[in-house]
Structures are given as structure tokens and as C-alpha cells.
Amino acid sequence: MTTTESTSEFTQAEGRSHVRKIVGIWLVVAIIADYFVWFVYGPHMPPGAMTDQARGQQFDIKVISVLAIPVLLFLWTFGFYSIAKFRGGRDRPDGYYVKGNVKTQTAWYVITATLVLFLAGFGTYELIVPAGAGGGEGPSPIWTPSTPVKLVVQVIAQQWRFTYRWPQFGGMETTSINLPVNTQIQFDVTSIDVIHDFWAYQLGVKADANPDVNNVAYAKTLQLGRFTVRCDELCGIWHGAMYNYGNVVSQQQFYNWATQMQKQNATVTKLLPKFALTYTPSYTGAGGGYYPSGDPNGTTA
Amino acid sequence: MAIKTTSIAQGGDGGRAVAEEKKGFRLNVFTGLIVGVLGYLFGHWMGNAIAGGYQQVVGSGQNDVAILLGFIFGTIGWFLGLGILNYPIQKMAGIEPPAEKYEYEPGVMKYFRYTLDNKVVGIQYLFGMLFYFFTAGLLAMGIRTELLSPTNHIWGPATYLEIVGEHGTMMMMMMTSVVMGPFGNYLVPLMIGSKRVAFPRLEAAAFWFTPAAYIILLSALWQGGFQSGWTGYAPLSIQQGVGQDAYLFSFALLGFSMITSSINMTATIINYRAPGMRWSRLPMIAWGMITVAFTMLLSVPILIDGLYVMGLDRSVQTAMLYAGHGGSSFLWENLFWFFGHPEVYLLALPGFGLTMEILPVFARKPLFGYRTAVAGMVGVAVLSFFVWQHHLFQSGMNPDMRPLFMLTTELISIPTGFIYLVGLGTLWRARMRFDVPMLFMLAVFFNFLFGGITGVYVSDVPVNVTVHGSYFVMAHFHYTIMGQLIFAVMGAIYYYSPLYFGIKLNEKWGKIHFWTMFVSFNSTFLPLFVLGLLGMPRRVFEYAARLQHLNQWVTISSYVLGLSLTFFVITFVWQLAVTRPKSPLNPWQSRGLEWQVGYPIPPGNFDKIPVILSGPYEYGDPNALPVADLKPVEPSAVGVSSGGEI
């Protein structure tokens, strides 16, 4: 630290007094803000708690918020305090001549590095333990659920709708989706034309639907309720209209619905290509072998 | 006042007249347009001749070869018509081009010509960039108007996505140059004590790529547009009509502009520093420029390669980006984001350069932690190359690499935090003056804080599952780009108007502009975080009815933001062209070398190469030496190493 005669008015005692005030104000507002974030707003934070994965994401948002908000508030407190107190003017001399402070700078480096490394470690833990946290894990997931998968749902995206295939129900295809509660589910997400994204908001599931790629995501349902499915990668003109709704229902209701759909769709299911993890698109980018009759370039199923 | 040059003699003899100037007709933007159109017609004809019989072309009626060749020859024609290629052609033909001459040229025609004076190029860039920014901003108004209602539509879905794509692409490609163009080119030679830039032809050509890219990109609107957004994900981008060719070609042109501009900037800063301009005295804008230039040089070629591949897939039916036929849609995602993420930082770094340059002037204090500031910028630039897959966390690509990319992304918070430390340290016990430029610089710190902190959410993979591709991400990057870069640029326009134009913009109008822009910006983009968390995806023209009120709030705020920027344009042009409120020399009492040369800045910037005596931020030290000796007697006796010529 270098001082000169013009800065002799800037005493150390005065500096410490500023620091005490800034830290005092900051501590009070940070504690209040964190209390509200964790206890008041926390339980209502998106994406909710319909699945294990959604609950994990909600927990992560809460943890990051209670760490990030004090940082934000510290910078605000410091900034607004400075604006209020450290004012000058054309007729006033220049400010405190100081070009650095080893202690302050070192403390800053250490604190920010610690925070960042903690967050990276925390994020990794929260990614691995809940089996990919609901995100797409590609064709060969390395983080799988600890309990066995009970239900496999294939999500086939195309311009501009989602269809669902159920390999455990004869490979039938439906345009609607229902899921049983308290069940470990595996989503196999793929596309038969361009890149889409299967985003089941309340389930905390998001996986890109890539042509020729099987993208696996897991979720364990915990609560009954309705969920929204939206396409989350720009996929062309009707991207904004590519959504539908699903329900998490009781296991019995699900079984009844699925078996009924299987019977109802039996004649259509016979015409579909054999169940596979991916379906290659054609040169026209539409359907490939999936809808042979409508696509002259497609291979017959 | 700018100067006219026809060319510059070898060896950097910027200030000396060495040959007679040719009188009479000179090539300009109009001849460029005429030859450019002729070039386009020739290229289009050739494309039809070559590819008219392709099965794909006959079947679809869409000839991408003709469109792309039209753009290629159109651009060559544009450059020929402007006279940019005269020098290299003459050199290649063994003809010695006429030597150059610097002199004042009154009037505005010089701004419509290819010219080698860094100050004219700076002004060309300034107005060019403002024009592109306002075009893209107008498109944003179109987007927000559509989103007033979840179900009633102003545009059809196709037009809506055309507007979204044009807005995103225009902003993301053009704004890469919004600081290096108007401020880097103009100020860096002045700041480092050089009479010229290293490669004036490259610098000038870099600007003239931009109008061509602008026209070609906008032309997509008349060709059905492109519905792939600025990210152009394949195979959607392969599926699109010829508007996509305009996207890929204009983006590539801007890529060439960035590369040429960066080569010049890097060489200038390394080689043309005046004696005494040590790296430890280099102004922050120059640090911003050199870090950005390196980032561009290493990342932009990858984009151009990717666009080239996209062009081949579209025109001659290769299948490199196309799944199931030997290619992969992951290839484009990787190539694009390998450029795309460094790009986000190369938008942020110059804004920080401007901010840290201007902050000490109004805080009346030295920049706190100069080396920390430099380390922050270098750290961000280096780390920016190791984070690109965080855009692809949910893609299914390399899922085992997600912890690594989460770590690298979060590590960027450390050097970014350095810049906040510098900012806070500089404000600590300052004597702040709240002139308009200072208000904008404080707003940069305020706004970027939202962008930076939400970046931590986005980079956390589990949270990313919720927020990826949603309005949360959209709000995040608008805070980092518009909230930081554009606020810094606006502040810099107020700050540098006395130096560029000899006028001091009205303080009261400036404050009206600042406060309306600051409040409406935050009112527009803060609710978007909430919309994203509530499940609204990006780029949709329909959304859940429960989100309508928030969307309407955002749209109305965006109109106020648009009005605020319109107010700026009107007051700026009015004062520049009509009232011209005269500014005293160096009205901000800055120590910066650029302010010491007086107004108008003389041809060749300095009579003699100055000798730098101290750093630019020594405010508060009455014993500090002046920043430079502008009339050194024997500069070589100073004994300080320098790359700049004397």
C-alpha cells in the first residue's frame, strides 16, 4: 500500500470503520435473505418434487442460492455504500491513492476459489448420486439408479410431436404418456429427423433427442400429478407448438391404462417397425424407416 | 477530424507525404455495391450452370450452389468495387502501387470509402455497429410483440423464427466487433503511443466485411429466412431453405472480419508500443483488445470450418453433419460451441476493458490491483476454450465429461471475480464523480453480477437440467452481453465523444437516457429468469397461459428500453449534426495518453513518438509523473525497450 501526503486524510481507523459498517449491513441482510430463500421460498422452488431427480434439482437450486445470494448482497452492500459515502466532485481532491492490498487480494482469491471448488464438487456429487440428475446420459449411461428400472419408455421425437413406445407392452406406441408412481423409470430418447429435446418439466427430466442416438435419462416418480412435456431444442417452424401433457398415476391405474392401450393399438402396433433404440432418418430428414409408406427414400421396416 | 489516406508507405512512415495523390474519381461504397451486385449475378449464373442439373436441385427447385457462389462473387465484387483488392493485385502483378499520403479531408465522404486511417475506420465501425445493433434491436421488438399473447399471433410461426434467428445472429456476429471496431482501432494506437496500426489494410478491410455480412444476413428475410436460430443446429440447418445459406455465408464473412481485425490488433499492441509503454503500463482497453484478439484468432477459424462443412452439406449433398449417413449432428454442435463459448467471453472482455479504463477516471483513484485485472482477463480468455460442452450437458454427448466441464465453467468465476475485486477496490474510498459515463460503468458491474451469478446455476449440471434451453439461460446471457457490453459501449460513447467529435454530450439528456435504459433493461430481463424457472423454453411462439402477465410486463419494458435507445439516437445525432456542444479538451481530466494529443487529433496521431513516463491511472498521487513526454528530445536515450518505431 502506498500513501502520499494528499491521502493523509485517509486514516486507517476511518477505513476500519467503513469495513465494520459494510460487513455489519451485509451480515444482517444476508442472513435474512438466506432464511427466506431456504425456509420460505425453498420448498416451492422449481421444478418441484414430483420425482427424485426434480427434488434433487430443487435442493441444488436452494444450495446454490443460499451461497450465491450472500455474494450478490456483499457486492451490492459494498457498491451502494461506496456510492453513498465515497463521493467527490470537480472541486474536490482525488481519492485514496492505493494500488493494491496483499491481504485483501489474497483473501479474495482464497474465498472465491474455495466457493467455486466446493460448488464443482457438490454439483458432481449431486450429478452422480441421483443417476445423472434427470439429464440425458447418452446411449451407455455410467451413472445408473441404485434400484432396478421397472419401466422403460421410449420417447421418439419428430417434427413436431412426441410419441412414446412401450417395449414392455408389446412395443406399442402412444401419443399420450402416463407413468406409475413410486417407480424407477428409464427414458430412451431419440429422434427420427432433427435435434429435439424431451423436457418433462415437473419430472426434472431433460434429454436431447438426437437422430441416430439413444439418449438415456432416469427418473423415480414420487408424487401423483400432471406434468408438461415440451420440446427444448429449436426444431423448426412448429417448435413452439411441440408440447403435450402427461400424468403420474397410481401403479394400478397405469397398468390398466397401458394394457387397455396395448389392446386398442394392437392392429397399429403390427405395422410399426420392430422396436429399436434408434431409427435412422432418410435423406429427406423425415421418418427414415419409421414410416415406410410415406417416405420413398426410407427402407422398409 | 479525420484524415484522408490513399495508402501508407512501407515501414510505418505514417505522417509523411511521399507521393502525389491522384485526383478525380475515387472508388467508394456505391461502386462497391454496383460491382458487388454484378458479382452476385455472375456467381448465381455460374451456380445454375454448374448445379442446375443436380437431382437435388431439379427435385426441390432450390439451388444452394448458385446462392453460395452468388454470395462469394458478390463479396469479391464488393471488395473490388471498393478498391480493397487494388493493392494486393498490383503487388501480385509486380506493379508498385502508388505511395500513400496523409492529409485532412473535410466532409463525410471519407467514411464511405476504403481508407487506411485508424481514426476513420474507428468512426466507420462506430456508426456501422450502432446501425447493426439497432436493426437487431428492432427485430427484438418484433419478438416481444409476438409474445404479448400466448395464443394470438402477430407473426406466423415461420416469420417469428425468422425474426428470432435474424436477431440472434445479427447480435452475436456483429457485436463481437462493437468494441474492437470503434474503440480498439481508434484508441489503441493513441493509447500505446503509435502513429499507426500495424496492418492498416487488414484493419480497414475488416470493417468492409461487415456491411456485406449485414446485407447478406438481412437478405435471408426475403428468401424465407432460416428457422434454425443463431446456433444453426444440424440437421435442421441442412433442412432449411436458401435463407440458411445467407446465415452461413454472412457468419463466415464476419469470421474473416474478426480474424483480420485481430491480426492487426495483436501485431499493433505487441510491436507498436512507444518507448516506456511497458506491459505493466498498458491501458486496460489495450489488454482487453489483445486478449480478445487472441481468443478470436484461435476460435473463429473453427467456426468458419463448421460453416464450410454446413455449406457443403447443403449445396453438394455431403452428409458430414447428418446422422445415419456417415456424419453426426454432434459434429456441428462441437464445432459451433468450440467457437461459440469463447465468443461469449470475447463479447464480455472488451466491455470489462472499457469499464476498467473509465472507472479510475471518475473514481479519481488508481486502478486497484492492475495485475489482478490483467490476470482476470487473461484467465477468462484461456479458460474460455475449455468450457464449450456445458452447452451440451443434456445432449447425450460425452456424459462422463460433464463433471470436468462443470468444473472448468465454474472456474471461470475466479478470474471474473478478479475483475469485481478490481472494481470494488477502485471504488474503495474513492472520490467518485457521477457523470454519465460513470453511471454506465457502475451499471456494468450491477448488471453483470446477475449474469455472472446465474452463470453458476447454469453451469451446475443438475440445475442445468431445469434451466437449459429455457428463458433462464436467455436472461443470463442477455445480462452478460447487453447488461455488460452494451452498457459499457454506451458509457464509452459518452466518454469518448469529446475526443472523437469535439463535442460533450448533454449531461441531462445523458442521465435521462441512462436511467430509462438501466431501469427498463432490468425490468425486461429480470422477469425472464423467473419465466425460465417456471418452464418457458426459448424460441417458442406459444407458451403457457399462466405466464402471460409476466410476458406482457417484459414486452412493455422492452418497448421502454427501445424508446430509451431511440432517445439516445435522436439526442446523439442532434448534438453531433446540429448543435455540436463544444467540449473543452479532456473534460474528464483523464490521465490517458489518448487525451493528451488534443482535438482534432493530428494526422499520424503524434508529431513525435512519445516517451511513456508513468502508468495511466496514477490518480491521487500529486507526485506522479505525466503519463508521457509528447515532445521527447532524444527518445532513444530513455533506455526503455519498445517495439514502436521512432
Question: What pLDDT, on a 0 to 100 scale, did the predictor assign at position B457?
Answer: 95
Q: Is residue A232 part of a domain?
A: yes
Q: Using one digit for the tens of pLDDT, what is the confidence trace for B17-72?
A: 333 445 567 888 999 999 999 999 999 999 999 999 988 888 888 999 999 999 99
| CA nearest neighbour of B427 among B408, B451, B444, B413 | B444
pLDDT tens, position by position, A138-149: 999 999 999 999
Across the interface, of A6, A78, A137, the residue whose CB is closest to B620 is A6
Determine, yes or no, domain membership for A5: no
Does residue A46 lie in a domain region? Answer: yes
Do A126 and A159 belong together in one domain? no
Residues A158 and A217 in one domain: yes
Contact residues, B window 279-338, toward A, CB-based 8 Å cutoff: 322-325, 328-330
- The mean pLDDT value for B213-242 works out to 92
**Domain ranges (residues) in chain B:** 108-579
* Residue among A64, A128, A136 minimizing CB distance to B463: A64
Q: Where are the alpha helices (DSSP H) in B147-199?
A: 157-174, 185-192
Instruction: Examine the domain organization and report whether A109 and A165 are in the same domain.
Output: no
Place of cell 474455495: A114
d(CA B511, CA B400): 51
Q: Do B323 and A280 touch (CB under 8 A)?
A: yes
pLDDT band at B198 (very low <50, low <70, confident <90, very high): very high
In a domain, A92, yes or no: no
Averaged pLDDT, B323-335 = 86
Torsion of CA B318, B320, B326, B327, to 10 degrees: -150
Distance between CA B506 and CA A136 in Å, rounded?
Answer: 54
CB atoms under 10 Å from CB of B552, counted, come to 14
CATH 1.20.210.10, applies to B108-579: yes
Does residue A139 lie within any of the structural domains? no
Closest-approach residue (CA) in chain B for A97: B620
Helix (H, G, I), strand (E, B) or coil at A164: strand
* CA–CA dist B36, B80 (Å, integer): 8
Chain A, nearest residue to B397 by Cα: A138
A162/A188 same-domain check: yes
At A301 the pLDDT is: 38
Query: Does residue B103 or residue B394 have the better pLDDT?
Result: B394
The residue-averaged pLDDT of A197-221 equals: 95
Residue A290 lies in a domain: no
In a domain, A140, yes or no: no
The reply to whether A110 and A50 lie within a common domain is: no
* Interchain contact B143–A (C-beta under 8 A): no
Q: For residue B263, what pLDDT band results from cuts at 50, 70 and 90?
A: very high
Residues A267 and A160 in one domain: yes
- What would the pLDDT profile of B268-299 be if each residue is shown by its tens digit? 999 999 999 999 999 999 999 999 999 999 99
**Which residue's entry shows cell 442521465?**
B511
pLDDT at B102: 60
| pLDDT at residue A242 is higher than 70 | yes
More confident residue, B182 or A287: B182
Query: For residue B242, what pLDDT is reported?
Result: 93
Could you give the number of structural domains in chain A? 3
Q: Is the pLDDT score of B8 beyond 70?
A: no
Nearest CB among A108, A119, A240 relative to B157 is that of A240
Task: Please indicate whether residue B515 or residue B341 has the higher confidence score (pLDDT).
Answer: B515
Alpha-carbon gap: B428 to the closest alpha carbon of chain A (Å)? 7
Portion of chain B with pLDDT greater than 70, in percent: 93
Residue B265 has what pLDDT? 95
Q: Does residue A287 register a pLDDT over 60?
A: no
Gap between the Cα atoms of B214 and B135, Å rounded: 10
Please determine, for residue B644, whether its predicted confidence score (pLDDT) is greater than 60: no
End-to-end CA distance of chain A: 78
Cβ-defined contact of B468 to A213 (cutoff 8 Å)? no
pLDDT at B607: 87
Contacts of B469 in chain A (CB under 8 A): 197, 199, 206, 232-233
* Average pLDDT over chain B, rounded to an integer: 90
A199 shares a domain with A113: no
Q: Which ranges of chain A would DSSP assign to H, the alpha helix?
A: 12-35, 52-85, 102-128, 251-264, 266-271
The residue ranking higher by pLDDT, B107 or A283, is B107
Domain assignment of residue A78, given as a range: 12-84
Give the mean pLDDT of B123-135.
Answer: 95
Residue A91 domain-assigned (yes or no): no
Q: What is the CATH number of the domain that holds A167?
A: 2.60.40.420
> For B452-462, how does the pLDDT look when each residue is reduced to its tens digit (9 = 90+)?
999 999 999 99
Residues A231 and A113 in one domain: no
Q: What are the pLDDT digits (tens) for B372-423?
A: 999 999 999 999 999 999 999 999 998 889 999 999 999 999 999 999 999 9
**Predicted confidence (pLDDT) at residue B636 exceeds the cutoff of 80:** no
Q: What's B608's DSSP letter?
A: S
Q: What is the mean pLDDT of residues B570-580?
A: 95
> Same domain, yes or no, for A168 and A200?
yes
Check CB contact under 8 Å for B462 and A57.
yes
Considering only CB atoms, B620 lies closest to which of A82, A95, A199, namely: A95
Does one domain contain both A244 and A171? Answer: yes
